[in-house]
Amino acid sequence: MTLMVDDLDRIEHLSTLIAEWSASFLKQVDQQSVAATNHPRPLDEPLAADGLGAEETFAEFKKHLAPGLSGSVGPRYLGFVTGGVTPAAMLGDWLTAAIDQNVMVAGDSISTAVELQVIEWLRSLFELDAAYEGVLTSGATTSNLLGMLTARQFAGEIQDIDIASEGIGKAEIEIFSACPHASIRKVIGFSGMGRNAITEVPCLPGSEEMDVAALEQLLTHSQAPGKIVIASAGTVTGTDFDDLTQTTLLCKAHNAWLHVDAAFGLFSRLVPKYKSLTNGINGADSITCDGHKWLNVPYDCGIFLTKHPTLLQRTCSVSAPYLAVSDELPSLMDRGIENSRRFRALPIWMSLKAYGRQGYRDLVSRNCEQASLLADWISKSSSYELLTPCKLNVVVFRPSESKSDVQQKLTEINQTGLVYLTPGNWFGTPCIRAAFSNWRTEKADVDIVCSVL
Ligand SMILES: Cc1ncc(COP(=O)(O)O)c(C=O)c1O
């Protein structure tokens, strides 16, 4: 207890130490190795009986943990789809920890109202229908889970089964998807519908885009009263977009729930050149988007939107006398998985206020230009082959000379410490992906990546 009291007494000094270290990490991250590829581990030591206090512990962090960090906030971490962190979002996250609000039920603070405002700002940023409401989650996987649980409730109610109360029982549900992200399979497993409930819809030739004519056939012949269609707005490798206008029409005609996974693809709506990719998205019953990707707010943060907030509430809400604190605002615990919840809205609120609609438009269009520059370089190179045209922010390629050994090439590239790229698979061909989604990336970084390649 004394150690904690002492630390609180010296909190100004301790905060300054951390702030200075963090500032210098952020400023120098582009001069350090982009990834710690040497499998770093913390010291193999037992939990101490007596603590060191925060200042000495911070010294241990600098000595033993800091050398093992990745430069994922920096400009040349192009693995997976990894957002950076804007300065305002980072400061917002520091504040979130310092004030440690629990955004479970309203009634004790402004935090629920702020999250609702942030959801409304995001709806407006993406120019989505006013009917969408939602909640912040821990990421796109959790948003996809909420999408599947709400869709499952819809499919159950069609069959007079309240799945949240009665269980899935005899409900018959068929799920249709062409190129779902791996997280979709994961959450369908959690939902109790079972991964085998997915009927695979063929893709258009040479693309990850759903063949809507095939979807129409499958929906027409489906015997299941409950139907769920999962569309992609930006697949993780090819960045392909399903035809959401046609898909919406089919879903309406067959009384199917339409869930759109737009974890990063939703951001294409910010740039006029790409806006038509998501035409029809306003027909979706639910949408997944990520905050920790292209919004460049810290982990973890996802966004879930639905036109059916009461169905979401029926899916998630339980009552308990100790939680009945306020009925002025919805309880956000009734719209998601967790009861106690972090004040995730604050970093978003800070970043949207600090940089506005235009700041985010610039960020997205710059990243797309950078991806297209890299794709141009690759298509002209004799050492690499572009596997599919770059459509948004991801470049998919492979070495042309060592076709079988993509992994070895990737290891060599990443061990330079100048860039971090991750693997993928393009129609059975192992490939390398470079995904641009960090506000700090500049054209000079693309030049560095080309020189490494
Ligand atoms: C299309 C898509 N959906 C879902 C996810 C899962 O996102 P998260 O890791 O934030 O849960 C990703 C991650 O790359 C994605 O690209």
**pTM exceeding the 0.85 threshold for the entire prediction:** yes
Specify the residue with its C-alpha closest to ligand 1, atom 4.
Answer: 140
Which atom of ligand 1 is least distant from the CA of 236?
Answer: 16
Backbone angles phi, psi at 394, to 5 degrees: -120, 135
Helix (H/G/I), strand (E/B), else coil: 280: coil
Count CB neighbours of 22 within 10 A: 12
**Segment 15-54, tens digit of pLDDT:** 999 999 999 999 999 999 999 999 999 999 999 999 999 9
Distance 20 CA to ligand 1 centre (A): 32
Give residue 145's pLDDT band: very low, low, confident or very high (50, 70, 90): very high
Distance 437 CA to ligand 1 centre (A): 13
DSSP codes of every residue in 406-418: HHHHHHHHHHTSS
Q: Which of 183, 210, 232, 288 to mutate to test the pocket of ligand 1 (most atoms within 8 A of CB)?
A: 183
**Segment 68-97, tens digit of pLDDT:** 999 999 999 999 999 999 999 999 999 999
Q: Which of 144, 179, 181 to mutate to test the pocket of ligand 1 (most atoms within 8 A of CB)?
A: 181
Quick check: 403 pLDDT over 60? no
Axis crossing angle, helix 11-28 with helix 2-9, rounded to the nearest 10? 70
Cβ atoms of 333 and 326 closer than 8 Å = no
Q: Whats the size of the chain, residue-wise?
A: 453
Cα dihedral 358, 22, 111, 350, rounded to 10, equals -20
Distance 183 CA to ligand 1 centre (A): 7
**CA distances in angstroms from 294 to 21, 101, 231, 263, 398, listed in the order given:** 25, 25, 20, 9, 25
Give residue 402's pLDDT band: very low, low, confident or very high (50, 70, 90): low
CATH number of 24-38+62-86+356-453: 3.90.1150.170
| pLDDT of 321 | 80
Residue type, 29: V
Ligand 1 binding pocket (C-beta < 6 A) is: 80-81, 139-141, 181, 183, 234, 236, 261, 263-264, 290, 302
Class for the domain spanning 101-342: alpha beta
| Both tokens assigned to 237 | 């490798």
Distance 452 CA to ligand 1 centre (A): 27
Distance 181 CA to ligand 1 centre (A): 7
**Segment 356-367, tens digit of pLDDT:** 999 999 999 999
Any idea where the domains of the chain sit in the sequence? 24-38+62-86+356-453, 101-342
Residue type, 25: F
Mean pLDDT of 441-449: 98
**Segment 201-255, tens digit of pLDDT:** 999 999 999 999 999 999 999 999 999 999 999 999 999 999 999 999 999 999 9
Q: Which of 240, 242, 288, 290 to mutate to test the pocket of ligand 1 (most atoms within 8 A of CB)?
A: 290
Which atom of ligand 1 is least distant from the CA of 302?
Answer: 10
Residues 6+ apart with CB under 8 A from 15: none
Residue type, 100: D
| pLDDT of 401 | 77
| pLDDT of 404 | 61
Helix (H/G/I), strand (E/B), else coil: 259: strand
Phi-psi region of 239 (alpha: psi -120 to 50; beta: other; left: phi over 0): left
Quick check: 353 pLDDT over 70? yes
Most confident range, picked from 312-321, 365-374, 395-404: 365-374
| Both tokens assigned to 144 | 């996809």
Hey, which bits of 272-378 come out as E strands?
A: 286-290, 302-306
Cβ atoms of 368 and 274 closer than 8 Å = yes
Distance 301 CA to ligand 1 centre (A): 11
Distance 221 CA to ligand 1 centre (A): 31
Cβ atoms of 197 and 173 closer than 8 Å = yes
**Segment 285-328, tens digit of pLDDT:** 999 999 999 999 999 999 999 999 999 999 999 887 877 777 88
Cβ atoms of 385 and 400 closer than 8 Å = yes
- For the chain, the first-to-last Cα distance in angstroms comes to 54
**Segment 175-198, tens digit of pLDDT:** 999 999 999 999 999 999 999 999
| pLDDT of 220 | 98
Distance 365 CA to ligand 1 centre (A): 20
Q: Which of 82, 236, 259 to mutate to test the pocket of ligand 1 (most atoms within 8 A of CB)?
A: 236
Distance 268 CA to ligand 1 centre (A): 16
Which atom of ligand 1 is least distant from the CA of 290?
Answer: 10
Specify the residue with its C-alpha closest to ligand 1, atom 2.
Answer: 263
Mean pLDDT, the chain, rounded, equals 97
Cβ atoms of 439 and 446 closer than 8 Å = no
